[in-house]
Amino acid sequence: MACFIVPVAEAVISTVAARILETKEKKSDESQKASDTDFSLKICFSKKVRWLSKLLWGGSFLLAFEHLWHCEIKPFFPFLTAAEHSESFSVMLHEMSTVGVSMSLTVTAAWIGMLIVSGIFEKRPKTQETREMI
């Protein structure tokens, strides 16, 4: 009905968070550049948050298309067919709180898995090949 709204809300929050982190990291990078000469292989956290926002935006976009396919979205106010009647509206809210939230949690869990895997790779000793890549 409107379960994709929950991941969209999370996508907005993660995009804003990534922007804020990016500006903070740029500021700290500039101050470190003068003293630090050793380059690390670590992926900055803002880029990792971007992974989450890309997963959420991409998934929500295709899910919105599915809702359009099933005529659950319309191009005029209130945009959601379920929001037209109070009975269907309460069903929509229930679906958002169950299916929508679990969708967001599934994507976030997959992202946490990605963080763990990338963390393991970052901790590995650097080979000659990876040093040359830097």
Partner 1 sequence: MTLLITIIAAIICTLIWYKNAPKDKMNISMLCFMYWGASLMWFADAVFEYSELRTEFFTPSLYDMVNDAFLGISAVALGLVVWIVILLITDPKRIFKKEI
Q: In this chain, which of 1, 18, 59, 73 binds partner 1, going by CB under 8 A?
A: 59
Q: Give per-residue burial for 107-121: e unless 16+ CB within 10 Å, then b.
A: bbeebeeeeeeeeee
Q: Taking CB under 8 A as the criterion, which residues in 3-22 touch partner 1? A: 3-4, 7
Position 65 contacts partner 1 (CB under 8 A): yes
Position 90 contacts partner 1 (CB under 8 A): no
Q: In this chain, which of 28, 36, 41, 61 binds partner 1, going by CB under 8 A?
A: 61
CB atoms near residue 43 (< 10 Å): 14
Specify the residue, 90 or 102, whose C-beta has the smaller distance to partner 1. Answer: 102
H helical segments located in 1-134: 5-33, 45-69, 86-95, 101-123, 128-133
Which H helix or E strand runs over 96? none
Specify the residue, 113 or 119, whose C-beta has the smaller distance to partner 1. Answer: 113
Where do we find the tokens 């599915």?
Answer: 66
Q: Binding residues for partner 1, per CB under 8 A?
A: 3-4, 7, 51, 54-63, 65-66, 69, 98-99, 102-103, 105-107, 110, 133
